[in-house]
Amino acid sequence: MKIVAKKHLSQFFLHKKETIDEIIRHVAPRGKIVEIGPGEGALTCAMLPLCTSLIAVEIDFEAATYLKRTISDSRFSCIQADILHYDWQEPVDLVVGNLPYHLSTPILLRIAEQKSKFRRAFFIVEDAFAEKVRESQTAIHTFISTFFDIDIAMQISRYACHPVPKVHSSLLRLIPKPAPEVNLAKYYNILSRAFRARRKKIRSIFPESDLFLDKRPHELTTEDWLSFYIKLHLPPQSPLR
């Protein structure tokens, strides 16, 4: 007996073999994998023969129980946990996830906290959200592009899932890149504050700042925002004596 999809968890389960096969071609699973929200395990079972170990992190008790009962491969383990609070014990090669639409932003913020612990990440997200992350000058785009190279690997028809969602999805690819150490919560709060008032100039949004006063949030580059963060949050250097 399979799992009943739960609306409050935004559950949509992949089932179309052709779509799963194409995802596998893009993801190229190998080594150690963490999978977020495996659901019924269709993608899990496709990745298992190609990797050395796979840890599935599933918040839904019913889904976690189903996976533990139906997948007996020694490379597989399933942890019933909220990925927002999951304790990453050791580095992995790949993170893959079918993200609940309503939690895509907080999960990506959590993933950014763990960026030193994986080499590649692929996430199935709502199509419009993927475009916002990749191209739009938004808080989430600026934040994620600070720490990752971003690309959309493929489109996923809504008919590849059951129950059929109202919108299509995309496979979002994130590759960690070198970035300075910052307080992620403070950095994202600055960006959120700015882009909530994107039509205003920086001088109006941040009267405490003396940088980029006549620019609007969407006119600043990632490097500009890092400089802005450093100016606001890092203590000034003591003068040499």
Residue 239 clears pLDDT 50, i.e. is over it:
no
Residue 240 lies in a domain: no
Calculate the alpha carbon distances from 75 to 23, 89, 97 in Å.
20, 17, 18
Question: For the packed helices 127-134 and 104-113, what is the interaxial angle rounded to 10 degrees?
Answer: 40
**68, part of any domain:** yes
Task: With respect to residue 1, please indicate whether it lies within any of the assigned structural domains.
Answer: no
Are 168 and 195 found together in one domain?
A: no
* pTM (whole model) above 0.85: yes
Chain-centroid distance, C-alpha 228: 24
Domain identity same for 15 and 126: yes
Alpha helices in 71-170 (DSSP H): 104-113, 127-134, 139-147
Q: Do 132 and 36 share a structural domain?
A: yes
Beta strands in the chain (DSSP E): 13-14, 32-36, 53-58, 76-80, 94-98, 120-126, 148-156, 161-162, 169-176
Decide if 168 is inside a domain.
yes
Q: Do 29 and 132 reside in the same domain of the chain? A: yes
Q: How far is CA 191 from the centre of its chain?
A: 17
- The verdict on 139 and 219 lying in the same domain is no
pLDDT for position 235:
54
State pLDDT tens for residues 7-35: 888 888 999 999 999 999 999 999 999 99
| Domain coverage including residue 189 | 184-233
Q: Do residues 72 and 188 share a domain?
A: no
pLDDT-derived band at 234, boundaries 50, 70, 90 = low
| Rounded mean pLDDT, 73-100 | 94
The reply to whether 2 falls in a domain is no
Task: From 176, 201, 224, give the residue that closes a domain.
Answer: 176
- Provide the number of structural domains found in the chain: 2
pLDDT at 241: 43
Q: For residues 18 and 101, give the distance between their C-alpha atoms in angstroms, rounded to a whole number.
A: 23
- Based on DSSP, count helices (H) and strands (E) in the chain, helices before strands: 9, 9
- List the CATH number of the domain containing 99: 3.40.50.150
Question: If you search the block for the tokens 């969407």, which residue do you land on?
Answer: 218
For residue 76, what are the contacts with CB-CB under 8 A and spacing of at least 6?
A: 44, 48, 53, 54, 56, 67
* Averaged pLDDT, 105-116: 94
Q: Cα(first)–Cα(last) distance of the chain, in Å?
A: 75
The yes-or-no verdict on residue 238 having pLDDT over 50 is: no
193 and 121 in one domain?
no
At 35 the pLDDT is: 98
